[in-house]
Structure 1
Amino acid sequence: MGGIKVSYLFIGIIILQRLAELFIAQRNERWLRAQGAYEVGTSHYPSMLALHSSFFIVLLLEITFKKTSLSSFFPILLLLFLLVQAVRIWCIHSLGRFWNTKILILPNANVVRKGPYRFLRHPNYLVVSLELFLLPFMFQAYFTAFLFTILNIVMLFVRIPIEERALRQATNYNETFK
């Protein structure tokens, strides 16, 4: 199977994974809202969705038009990518019903500090950042890696302060992350 076909198959699997995660997020959103949660950061959320959706489009276009091949470091990059996916699943599992793609705040909730959240405040954002870098490198799509790493950094500079401010105001965030 050629490098481009492997690329399409692999990226297709990742896209299906993201769609499954959106299903989980919608289910969790319904539960959180039923418990009294509210959303913050609604103004940047469409931009974030556009960023993540366009990432796959640009990646596939770069692979197709540049006719890139698998990186000579593909086995190592694949291993790193799979480790990052394990951390992604660990994040989702650790947050349980609180995991979401939106910033949903449940007033007076106890902030989760288990799993990877024992070590980092926002491990899922680290996971996403690593994915946006590693996945294109696996297929020598360096333009996509550079562009979306920069765009993601800009997005995180907007998103993280909004999330932390809301958590500080409505939950035990300050006590949990002294």
Structure 2
Amino acid sequence: MTTLLAFTVLVALVGLERVAELVVSVRNAAWSRDRGGVESGLGHFPFMVVLHTALLVGALVEAWVRRPDVPSVLAWSMLALVVASQALRWWCIATLGRRWNTRVIIVPGLAPVTSGPYRLLRHPNYVAVVIEGVALPLVHAAWITAVVFTILNAGLLAVRIRTEDAALATLPQQETSDA
């Protein structure tokens, strides 16, 4: 298998992982809404969907059009970061349980989760997103996609984190075991 074909398979697998996330997200968002969950940040959500889709498409298009030479050390080190970012993302999903979704939905009365990766970082899922946004395209030296995504994602995350922090500030501050 050529490295370009292997990269295409990797991006397709990440795309399938995104579909799995969406299935979990839709189910969990419904759970939150059934418990009186209030959604914030509706304005930035469509941009987030487009940007994250563009990361996958852009990486593939750039790799197939530019067909760059990819040093093995770059490919393998970035692949390791992609795998690590997926592990961190799913640790976040598992820790938040039913409260995790791709939207900002706050269930009144449930305190913010402070266990798992959240005991170390306030927004560990966004760390995973940042790492993946750089590492996935660089598995096949798609540096233009990595740079463009990183710049646009920085602006998005500034809005997203501000929105999420404001929503979380409305909750009681002790963690509950209800997840």
TM-score range, shorter chain: over 0.9
Matches within 5 A, 1:3-14: 3-14=3-14
Does the alignment pair 1:162 with 2:163?
A: yes
CA distance in 1, matches of 2:29, 2:163: 18
Deviates more, 1:83-92 or 1:18-27: 83-92
The answer as to whether partners of 2:68 and 2:141 remain within 8 angstroms in 1 is: yes
Matches within 5 A, 1:1-178: 1-73=1-73, 74-169=75-170, 171-173=171-173
TM-score of the superposition, structure 2-length normalised? 0.93
How many Å apart are 1:107 and its aligned residue? 0.9
How many Å apart are 1:69 and its aligned residue? 4.6
The answer as to whether partners of 1:71 and 1:137 remain within 8 angstroms in 2 is: no
The answer as to whether partners of 1:29 and 1:104 remain within 8 angstroms in 2 is: yes
CA distance in 1, matches of 2:87, 2:55: 21
TM-score of the superposition, structure 1-length normalised? 0.93
Deviates more, 1:78-87 or 1:37-46: 78-87
Deviates more, 1:25-34 or 1:71-80: 71-80
The unaligned stretches of length 5 or more in structure 1 are none
- 1:136 is paired with a residue whose SS is helix
The unaligned stretches of length 5 or more in structure 2 are none
- Counterpart of 2:85, as a letter, is V
- Number of equivalences: 174
Q: Deviation string for 1:128-177 (max 9, x for gaps)?
A: 000000011111000001000011100011111111111102x124x67x
How many Å apart are 1:117 and its aligned residue? 0.2
CA distance in 2, matches of 1:83, 1:57: 21
CA distance in 2, matches of 1:114, 1:53: 30
